[in-house]
Amino acid sequence: MYTDFTFENLGDGISICVSDEHRFGTDAFLLADFAGARRKDYVCDFCSGSGIIAVLMKRNNNPAFIYAVEIQEKAVSQMKLTVEKSGIDNFEIVSGDLKDFKAKKELDLITCNPPYKINNTGAKNDSEAVSIARHEMLCTIDDVCKSASRNLKFGGRLCICNRPERLCDIMVAMRNNNLEPKRVRFVSKTPKDAPWLVLVEAKKGGKPFLQVEKNLYIQDENGDYSEEMKRIYRLK
């Protein structure tokens, strides 16, 4: 049906199906690492796209069970091929709207790499699928937090990434849905550059206390990957 599917090797016998519209970038690796799923966790990834964050958590941490929720049919088809080709188990692809999602049991962790841009702001891509991934056309930060709060157990975590300019929106949406921001980490290309990404963790029912972690830098002073990025990318 689709002619632009290819596979990229992630190691450990896992290959992920990508397409022109549903690929992945550095932010997916950063969020999967930041979330730090545990082996006993029941996990869900919202706005899963190609499934990269869910698949990375499976590769890195092998949690007890993973849901991957995605509304776009083409991306769902890609995830199905990834699961089939890589023999991934304890992994359920949910084709539908995250606003309607209800897990079979309360979850320990939800991750989300949501659309970064408010709808009707900035230029949209010619591809509707790419625009949906980048702009809040089908879901907002509040939608993500509301569904996360409904599905997380008490003390369960929501971990998301976004642009730093959306940080206030993120924290307001979290608190409005009984999700207390607990950790924030900014990501910059180099120590000289302003952050281009922010990683945020909230806990359901948590008490107010926010830990701001040291910045993560993509490159070192020589323009090579930093030691932390080498670890995240498994280059060392």
CATH number at residue 211: 3.40.50.150
| Assigned domain for 171 exists | yes
pTM of the full structure:
0.92
Does some domain include residue 53?
A: yes
Question: Maximum CA pair distance of the chain?
Answer: 50
In a domain, 150, yes or no: yes
Helix ranges (H only) for 7-140 are 26-35, 52-60, 73-86, 128-134
Q: What is the pLDDT of residue 214?
A: 98
Does residue 46 fall inside a structural domain? yes
Q: Do residues 24 and 52 lie in contact, with contact meaning Cβ atoms separated by under 8 Å?
A: yes
Q: Are 152 and 110 in contact (CB under 8 A)?
A: yes
In a domain? residue 1? no
Does residue 9 have a pLDDT over 60? yes
- What is the arithmetic mean of pLDDT over 47-62? 97
Residue 118 lies in a domain: yes
**Residue 184 is part of which domain span?**
6-232
Residue 85, in any domain of the structure: yes
Q: Give the range among 47-56, 109-118, 170-179 with minimum mean pLDDT.
A: 109-118
* Model pLDDT for residues 92-131, shown as the tens digit of each residue: 999 999 999 999 999 999 999 998 866 554 544 455 554 4
Confidence of residue 151 (pLDDT cuts 50, 70, 90): very high
What is the token pair recorded at 157?
Answer: 């975590």
Q: 158, 71, 165: which is closest to 112 by C-alpha?
A: 158
Q: How many structural domains is the chain composed of?
A: 1
Confirm whether 139 is domain-assigned.
yes
